[in-house]
Chain A
Amino acid sequence: EDKVVQSPLSLVVHEGDTVTLNCSYEVTNFRSLLWYKQEKKAPTFLFMLTSSGIEKKSGRLSSILDKKELFSILNITATQTGDSAIYLCAVEGRDFNKFYFGSGTKLNVKP
């Protein structure tokens, strides 16, 4: 059965800390892995990863994929209170448009 597992489930840090969020997957015929940030409403897109070892970066956020070990990490450096959110990982596999989502990591950044 295809599945995506995120860890940790929740995390509390202080402003300025660096955090690493994990996403492991078992999905047949991997196509892509996506990261989203969800505050109180719609998830917003962060990164799409399709190739191993190529880091994607946007400001203080970065992400990388390891297709051999079947996982991805999302790093956030110098965290701010505005980074508080649920971070979702999703994987598209064999069937187009069928995304498998992890249960999310809830990040709380304290001032």
Chain B
Amino acid sequence: DVKVTQSSRYLVKRTGEKVFLECVQDMDHENMFWYRQDPGLGLRLIYFSYDVKMKEKGDIPEGYSVSREKKERFSLILESASTNQTSMYLCASRVQGYEQYFGPGTRLTVT
């Protein structure tokens, strides 16, 4: 069974803090993704990575950065959190040509 885990289910941070969201997958997938999910907007792609140290911007990369130092781990970084980054963050992984497997999500609140 593919397993994608995320470091926190719930997180509360203050405006201006640096925030790290971690994602780990255990199935040797080359592709990993970060999405945010907001009511009425569906899932929007922030960044994805197709290999270690490789990354591509998604549709809404502003205010975010990512890091992939090991194949199984993909981190999302909010350099200076803002209230409009309050959201549900979902990580996913996949083998090219197949479905994505999602983690349980991190609900981030920025106050």
Contacts and interface: CB of A to CB of B under 8 A. Distances in A.
Q: Do A and B come from one complex?
A: yes
B45 A42 contact: no
Interface residues of A, number: 19
A98 B42 contact: no
A54 B42 CA distance: 27
Interface residues of B, number: 25
A45 B4 contact: no
Given A41-B105, A97-B33, A97-B56, A88 B42 contact: yes
Interface stretch (B69-77, B79-87, B95-103): B95-103
B42 A102 contact: yes
Nearest to B30: A97
A4 B58 CA distance: 16
B44 interface: yes
Interface in A39-55: 41-45, 48
Contact of A101 (B42, B48, B50): B42
Interface string B34-62: 01000011111100101000001010000
Given A42-B4, A45-B101, A103-B41, 18 more contacts: A4-B42, A34-B99, A41-B104, A41-B105, A42-B90, A42-B103, A42-B105, A48-B98, A90-B43, A90-B100, A97-B48, A97-B56, A97-B94, A99-B43, A99-B100, A101-B35, A103-B42, A104-B42
